[in-house]
Amino acid sequence: MAIQDKAYIDGRWVAGNLGCFDVDDPASGDIVARVANVDLDQVEAAIDAASNAFEPWRLQPAQARCDRLMAWQLLLLAQQSRLAELITLESGKPMSESLAEVVYGASYLKWFAEQGVRAYGHTLPALPGGRRPMTIKQPVGVVAIITPWNFPLAMIARKVAPALAAGCCVVIKPAAETPLTALALVALAEQAGFPAGCINVVPGIDAAAIGQRLCASPRIRKLSFTGSTAVGRILMAQSAAHIQKVSLELGGNAPFIVFDDADLDLAVDGLLAAKFRNSGQTCVAANRILVQQGVYQAFVSKLREKVLALKVGPGAIDGNNIGPLISQVAHRRVSRLVEQALSAGATCSAVGTDLPGRFYPPTLLESIRPSNPIWQQEIFGPVLAVTGFDTEEEAVRLANSTEAGLASYLYSDNVRRVMRVAESLQFGMVGVNEGIISTAVAPFGGIKSSGLGREGGQEGLDDYLETKYLCFGS
């Protein structure tokens, strides 16, 4: 599979009207590709293509649409090493994680291929006078999809699969840091036989202008976005012009609570998985670690040992678990956050291998007060911020004192406590004695400022469907 560097509009691979932009390898900083930089006419052409393709696509039998998705996921699995190499090349994550991302992404294509044939409406009991009400499910229309760089394949698969299964057509704007995986993914969709115009990709450097154009079009009926809360707010405001539906998967600030009655080894392993995947650059990463005083010292000493054993280095080299951060800007941001944390009274009890470039050493910080900036922001780096607590009430209060409401984690072997705390946590997802929670079969999403809508599960398809009510006279 050659590297695909063109935009994909109406079934054709086209050069960017604004030339190209560079994509680099975060591990070395080397430029690895120059990708088509689309202008707004090309964005409009992609909207035209998707709009024209929509009617025939939605009228296909659901099974025919789902067959295409099934064929696509098989191609992904057949090409998993090549796709994983691309993910590592442009995002920096370790190969083992890239391979897992391909399999995870493919699982959404399969899940929605299976769900798409079950977009059931209802027949309702007859009304007085004999009228018969009924509902049918119909696709919302053309969907704009804007995705981040941290899961360059999976974030697209999670949105495109339910959209296509429902009968929608899509215009995808991938992150400028990681367009190669998106283009490779769509090249496989072309092989799987999706009709021209069904799936369009518009890579570009001017995300704000592209986003504005997508929101300004009354033909775009839904916007599905994963990324920062700041950009989510902008897009939500822009979508008001035509009352586009929005699904927003925004930033988190996940609490990770370890109670006195937890299995500590399980908790340490869960924390490593929840924190260090993609060098901490995930929206469900454990951000605020709360450990009950009775097990605090034992937990932290086990944790310190494991943090120091993490292998930092290029993701392409076997055995490395911590790759580089995505950019120098990200590196500066994490460095500043740690400096601020230390000057606000935190103590540093472990620092792993420190390599030059965009690599940030795995770091363990303790004595974090709730007013510390590192407690209030998404760290998005391999830094653990740990604090102790005394009571269950205190843990829940601290955990909930954030605007974010995406993932949360709790470790305890007391089933009554688990139920109480899980029900009290104001988050869309709760990992109970588990650090990796995301799966195609369950609804992923946040509450409060972490977003709107759910991806995966039964709910994932609904976000791309309208319910139409039909009333039959007697």
* Interface positions with ligand ADP (CB under 6 A): 146-148, 173, 175-176, 207-208, 211, 227-228, 231, 234-235
Beta-strand pair 407-411/254-258: parallel
Neighbour-count burial of 133, counting CB atoms closer than 10 A to its CB (0-12 exposed, 13-18 middle, 19+ buried): middle
Minimum distance of ligand ADP from residue 277's CB (angstroms): 15
Given the complex with ligand ADP, which of 325 and 386 has the nearer CB atom? 325
Q: For the CB of residue 177, give the shortest distance to ligand ADP in the complex, in Å.
A: 7
Contact 76, 105 (CB under 8 A): yes
CB of 227 to ligand ADP, least distance (A): 3
Minimum CB separation from ligand ADP for residue 90, in Å?
13
* Least separation in angstroms between CB 61 and ligand ADP: 33
Q: Which is nearer to ligand ADP, 187 or 330 (CB)?
A: 330
Closest CA to 279 of 316, 245, 315: 315
Task: Report the DSSP pairing between strands 286-292 and 220-226.
Answer: unpaired
Minimum CB separation of residue 105 from ligand ADP in Å reads 17
**Residue whose C-beta lies closest to ligand ADP:** 211
Residues contacting residue 416 through CB under 8 Å, at least 6 positions apart: none
Instruction: Judge whether 175 and 157 are in contact, CB under 8 Å.
Output: no
CB of 147 to ligand ADP, least distance (A): 6
Burial of 315 (0-12, 13-18, 19+ CB in 10 A): buried
Q: How far is the CB of 34 from ligand ADP (least distance, A)?
A: 17
Q: Which of 90, 249, 366, 455 is catalytic?
A: 249
CA-CA distance, 356 to 359, in Å (whole number)?
A: 6
- Find the DSSP H helices in 310-409: 328-343, 373-376, 392-400
* E-state strands within 164-241: 169-173, 199-201, 220-226
Tokens of 284: 């469900």
* For ligand ADP, the closer CB: 18 or 234: 234
Locate 270 and state its tokens: 């869960």
Residue 26 or 116: which CB sits closer to ligand ADP? 26
Contact 37, 5 (CB under 8 A): no
Residue identified by tokens 């500590």 is 264
Are 215 and 239 in contact, with CB atoms under 8 Å apart?
yes
Please list, in sequence order, all residues whose beta carbon lies within 8 angstroms of the beta carbon of residue 212, skipping any fewer than 6 positions away.
238
Catalytic pick among 283, 366, 378, 455: 283
- Of 208 and 441, the one with the shorter C-beta distance to ligand ADP is 208
Output the six-digit token pair for 71.
């064929």
DSSP symbols for 40-57: HHHHHHHHHHHHHHHHHH
- Specify the residue, 209 or 436, whose C-beta has the smaller distance to ligand ADP: 209
Residue 36 carries which side chain, given as an amino acid letter? A
Distance CA 117, CA 154 (A): 22
Q: Is-catalytic flag, 44?
A: no
Which residue's CB is nearer to ligand ADP, number 240 or number 317? 240
Q: From the CB of 81, what's the least distance to ligand ADP, in Å? A: 26
In the residue annotation, 423 being an active-site residue is answered as: no
- With the C-alpha atoms ordered 303, 305, 306, 310, is the resulting torsion angle positive or negative? positive
Q: Indicate if the alpha-carbon torsion angle 198, 204, 209, 212 is positive or negative.
A: positive
Q: Which residues pair with 298 in a beta bridge?
A: none
CB of 236 or CB of 310, closer to ligand ADP: 236
The phi, psi pair for 34, rounded to 5°, reads -120, 120
Between 227 and 361, whose beta carbon lies closer to ligand ADP?
227
* Catalytic site positions: 249, 283
